[in-house]
């Protein structure tokens, strides 16, 4: 066999090994190996954590789920599959590695959009600190961070720091499924149906439902000028949430 063929075979084998082990080329030599996902709706990659366990803002005082989170898509369907759960479980410990911010900056690379938390939330001030650094070091990428972590007094000031960055939109999620809005520069709410959308300056109706659930060219969630995004309700109440041990 020619040298060139051997090199080609070796390269293919190396790529196969990386793919099978869940590594990515940008992580070689690093302790942290963040695993990104590609939500089917989104125009970009995402970094996510296990839903509910990392979502203290999803709970009422009695431990039950707030209305919006009782319908959480990330506790149902394909999100319950082993491979999807494994990625989120991995990220839950991986972010504590000392070189995680370096690895994330590399993983985001030249991406122009990035969505944090397709599932999960900022449950720790230390994680919030690290996300600030990642966003500061990726100024050419527009970050969208949907969150209920503003309920945590330790994390709320860090969200303000994040939202002050020109390339970041921290979008505070209302607990309502009836269109109630909350205070904040950038927020979101859930409405029963598109007919319930209240139009106005800085308000946008998510029209992904007209595009088979995909964002298409819309980037409203990433846009600081958009004050409130209204998402028409979809999905069903999580019937298994208690049985699965998510709610005590
Ligand atoms: S408002 Fe636009 S960017 Fe946000 S989820 Fe809907 S389609 Fe996607």
| 222 C-alpha to ligand 1 centroid (Å) | 8
- Exposure on the CB side of residue 212, measured as CA atoms within 13 A: 2
Helix (H), strand (E), coil (C) string for 133-195:
HHHHCCCCCEEEEEECHHHCCCCHHHHHHHHHCCCEEEEEECCCCCCCCCCCCCEEEEECCHH
Which pLDDT belongs to residue 41?
82
Positive or negative, the CA dihedral 183, 189, 193, 199 is: positive
pLDDT in tens, 222-242: 999 999 999 998 755 544 444
Lowest mean pLDDT among 1-15, 125-139, 141-155: 1-15
- 17 in a structural domain: no
| 208 C-alpha to ligand 1 centroid (Å) | 6
How many domains does the chain fold into? Answer: 1
pLDDT of residue 90 exceeding 90: yes
Average pLDDT over residues 168-180: 96
Lowest mean pLDDT among 26-30, 154-158, 194-198: 26-30
- 90 against 28, higher pLDDT: 90
pLDDT of residue 184 exceeding 70: yes
- 243 in a structural domain: no
- 48 in a structural domain: yes
Strand order in the sheet with 113-116: 45-47, 113-116, 142-147, 168-173, 187-191, 228-232, 203-205
pLDDT in tens, 14-37: 444 444 344 455 566 789 999 999
**C-beta of 135 in contact with ligand 1 (< 6 A):** no
State the pLDDT confidence band at 10, using cuts at 50, 70 and 90. low
- 179 in a structural domain: yes
| 184 C-alpha to ligand 1 centroid (Å) | 19
- 172 against 14, higher pLDDT: 172
- 101 in a structural domain: yes
Which pLDDT belongs to residue 72?
80
- 133 in a structural domain: yes
| 206 C-alpha to ligand 1 centroid (Å) | 5
- For ligand 1, what atom is nearest to the CA of residue 226? 1
Average pLDDT over residues 152-163: 97
Other beta carbons within 10 angstroms of residue 105's beta carbon come to 17
- For ligand 1, what atom is nearest to the CA of residue 214? 7
| 221 C-alpha to ligand 1 centroid (Å) | 6
Which pLDDT belongs to residue 246?
40
- 58 against 24, higher pLDDT: 58
**C-beta of 221 in contact with ligand 1 (< 6 A):** yes
| 146 C-alpha to ligand 1 centroid (Å) | 12
- 9 in a structural domain: no
**C-beta of 205 in contact with ligand 1 (< 6 A):** no
Q: Which domain holds residue 151?
A: 31-232
- 24 in a structural domain: no
Give dist(CA 181, CA 142) in Å, integer.
Answer: 24
pLDDT averaged over every residue in the chain: 86
- For ligand 1, what atom is nearest to the CA of residue 216? 7
Which pLDDT belongs to residue 235?
58
pTM of the model: 0.84
Average pLDDT over residues 39-52: 91
Residue nearest to ligand 1 atom 4, measured at CA: 221
* Best of 117, 229, 233, 234 for a ligand 1 pocket test (most atoms within 8 Å of beta carbon): 229
| 202 C-alpha to ligand 1 centroid (Å) | 14
**C-beta of 219 in contact with ligand 1 (< 6 A):** yes
């Amino acid at each position: 066999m020619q040298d060139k063929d051997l090199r080609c075979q070796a390269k293919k084998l190396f790529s196969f090994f990386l793919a099978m082990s869940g590594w990515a080329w940008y992580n070689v030599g690093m302790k942290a190996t963040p695993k990104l996902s590609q939500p089917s709706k989104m125009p970009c990659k995402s970094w996510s954590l296990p839903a509910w366990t990392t979502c203290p803002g999803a709970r009422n005082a009695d431990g039950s789920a707030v209305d919006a989170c009782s319908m959480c898509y990330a506790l149902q369907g394909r999100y319950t599959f082993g491979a999807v759960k494994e990625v989120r479980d991995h990220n839950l410990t991986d972010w504590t590695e000392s070189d995680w911010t370096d690895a994330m900056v590399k993983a985001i690379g030249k991406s122009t959009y990035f969505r944090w938390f397709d599932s999960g939330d900022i449950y720790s001030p230390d994680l919030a600190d690290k996300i600030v650094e990642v966003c500061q070091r990726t100024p050419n990428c527009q970050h969208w961070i949907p969150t209920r972590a503003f309920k945590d007094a330790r994390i709320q000031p860090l969200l303000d720091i994040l939202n002050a960055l020109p390339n970041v939109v921290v979008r505070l999620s209302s607990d309502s499924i009836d269109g109630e809005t909350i205070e904040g520069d950038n927020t979101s709410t859930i409405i029963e149906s598109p007919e319930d959308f209240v139009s106005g300056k800085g308000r946008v109706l998510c029209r992904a439902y007209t595009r088979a659930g995909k964002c298409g060219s819309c980037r409203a969630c990433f846009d600081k000028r958009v004050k409130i995004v209204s998402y028409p309700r979809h999905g069903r109440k999580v019937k298994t949430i208690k049985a699965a041990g998510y709610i005590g």
